[in-house]
Amino acid sequence: MTMPEKLKLLSWRDIVFVALPSLLLVFGAFWLAAQFIKPAPPDQLVVSTGGEGGAYQRFAASYKDVLARYGITLVEKPSAGSIENLERLRNPGLEVDAAFIQGGTASRKEEDELVSLGDFYHEPLWIFYREAAVQGGDRLLDLKGKRVAIGGAGSGTRHLAMELLAANGVDASNTQLIEAGGLGLLGRLRKNEIDAIFAVGPTQSALVWSLLYTPGVRLMNLTHAEAYTRLFPHLARLVLPRGAIDLARDFPPHDIQMVSPMATLLVREDTHPALIGLLMQAASEVHGEPGVFQKPREFPRVGHNEFPLSSEAERYYKSGKPFLQRYLPFWAATLIDRMVVMLVPLLAVLLPLFKFAPQIYGWRVRSRIYRRYGELKFLENEINEDPGRHTRAEWLEKLDLIEKDASNIRTPLTFTDILYTLRGHIDLVRDMILRRTPG
């Protein structure tokens, strides 16, 4: 039998009856999966950094190189510092995806939709002063009455400086507090326009490194470092070991006690998970190196700040780089990752359909044949109860209608045995009519 002939035997009405609900079910699964699938990650990430030449800007430049390998462009937006960065993240009108935040400068609000990526590195507080202007130099109280640069407005440095100075009774009423930051302070210090400078950042910061090697300038050894960590829980006590800056010069000549907040990266909750994953990889690469205040691979790590940890960052800390990205390019890994979300509910629908759809189709075909069986049985009962109710011709006419109807059933080859059995039973009833009714 040719294929066109086989197709003619199919019951297209039954196929439509089974196929239409099945298609609707598949489309429904697609629609449901689409509600959970994330769009493709954007090819740009905007990060609010800090002042020119600062640590935030330097680290952002390193992130930029890492993300470029995956085809993502990192756009840096300089700012006054941590306070302004937080304001930018909270402003929905500004296109900022992530921002560097200094620990202790941000308090979570109920309406905030921000999450943390963990602790990225120590941001030690460096307090430099001119030896000729400050006596003692191991207590913040020694800065009372001096000209002190506390960092620019909107910076985390200013926030921390004001906290610590206030704890020592030093404020604008008894000390000249200068809101300024950046490399320009170095020149002012050399011109004796400033007596002391507060700076927050890693050792490699341009301002910190320059001040460490400026003649006549000393780094304050905070006698009360441990006490500050008890008063301000966001601070940790650090020790700059003797000779850690320059072993040949034995600099510093003794251990220096310092305090340090922790630097973190906050992102908006709607930032694409794939971009958060790339930020975590960049942070591990940039901040995982050993340093004066950290061991190899100590950072990044799970943080303990006021903002909840991003679920994607939490997954990274537990499992590392996503499985697919270990073997595939970033674009391919993200595409497959998104497709899996579509395939899971689809397979959950298709597998049962492949099993039950043929059964439902078979039931539909058999039910029409069984319906004729019912008519045949009803006719047989009538003949048995009262053969004389109709003439032989009338009984045969009723039987012929059932046989004609059965002959018109479109039956696939799989079900022809049932149809032929029905026809055999029709012949048996015909013999019974011929035997039980007068000619």
Q: Domain check: are 344 and 309 in the same one?
A: no
432 inside domain: yes
35 inside domain: no
Q: What mean pLDDT comes out for the span 283-305?
A: 90
Q: In the predicted model, is pLDDT for residue 5 greater than 50?
A: no
Summary mean pLDDT of the chain: 85
pLDDT of residue 67: 94
CB-CB contact of 262 with 300 (8 Å): no
pLDDT of residue 1: 45
Structure confidence at residue 356 as a pLDDT band (50, 70, 90): low
Closest CA to 235 of 227, 243, 245: 227
36 inside domain: no
329 inside domain: no
pLDDT of residue 335: 59
pLDDT of residue 65: 94
370 inside domain: yes
Q: Domain check: are 357 and 426 in the same one?
A: yes
Structure confidence at residue 348 as a pLDDT band (50, 70, 90): low
Q: What mean pLDDT comes out for the span 421-435?
A: 83
Q: Domain check: are 181 and 292 in the same one?
A: no
- Residue of higher predicted confidence among 245 and 304: 245
Closest CA to 17 of 360, 353, 356, 351: 360
pLDDT of residue 193: 95
Q: Domain check: are 301 and 245 in the same one?
A: no
Q: Domain check: are 132 and 256 in the same one?
A: yes
364 inside domain: yes
Q: Domain check: are 253 and 215 in the same one?
A: yes
Q: How many whole angstroms separate alpha carbon 422 and alpha carbon 288?
A: 80
Q: In the predicted model, is pLDDT for residue 134 greater than 80?
A: yes
pTM score, two decimals?
A: 0.69
Element (H, E) at 209: helix 206-212
Structure confidence at residue 268 as a pLDDT band (50, 70, 90): very high
- Residue of higher predicted confidence among 147 and 303: 147
Q: Domain check: are 198 and 279 in the same one?
A: no
Q: What percent of the chain has pLDDT over 90?
A: 49
Structure confidence at residue 179 as a pLDDT band (50, 70, 90): very high
Domain residue limits at 196: 124-260
Q: Domain check: are 97 and 26 in the same one?
A: no
pLDDT of residue 55: 86
pLDDT of residue 38: 65
The amino acid at residue 143 is L
Q: Domain check: are 375 and 408 in the same one?
A: yes
Q: Domain check: are 71 and 164 in the same one?
A: no
Of 29-33, 149-153, 241-245, 389-393, give the lowest mean pLDDT range.
29-33
Domain termination residue (choose one: 242, 260, 278): 260
The amino acid at residue 338 is R
Angle at 305 between CA 301 and CA 309, to 5 degrees: 60
| Residue 72 DSSP one-character state | -
Q: How many whole angstroms separate alpha carbon 19 and alpha carbon 13?
A: 10
Per-residue model confidence as pLDDT tens digits over 12-62: 555 555 566 666 666 666 666 655 566 678 889 999 998 877 889 999 999
Cα dihedral 290, 292, 293, 296 in deg (nearest 10)? 10
| Residue 105 DSSP one-character state | S
| Residue 186 DSSP one-character state | H
The tokens of 213 are what? 């090697």
Per-residue model confidence as pLDDT tens digits over 145-171: 999 999 998 889 999 999 999 999 999
The tokens of 147 are what? 């000209």
- Residue of higher predicted confidence among 423 and 22: 423
The count of structural domains within the chain is 3
Structure confidence at residue 88 as a pLDDT band (50, 70, 90): very high
Element (H, E) at 335: helix 330-385
CB atoms closer than 10 angstroms to residue 3? 7
Q: Domain check: are 133 and 256 in the same one?
A: yes
Q: In the predicted model, is pLDDT for residue 235 greater than 60?
A: yes
330 inside domain: no
CATH number of the CATH domain containing 131: 3.40.190.10
Q: How many whole angstroms separate alpha carbon 120 and alpha carbon 116?
A: 10
Closest CA to 325 of 308, 312, 310, 307: 312
Structure confidence at residue 9 as a pLDDT band (50, 70, 90): very low
26 inside domain: yes
Q: How many whole angstroms separate alpha carbon 390 and alpha carbon 159?
A: 108
- Would you call 139 helix, strand, or coil by DSSP? coil
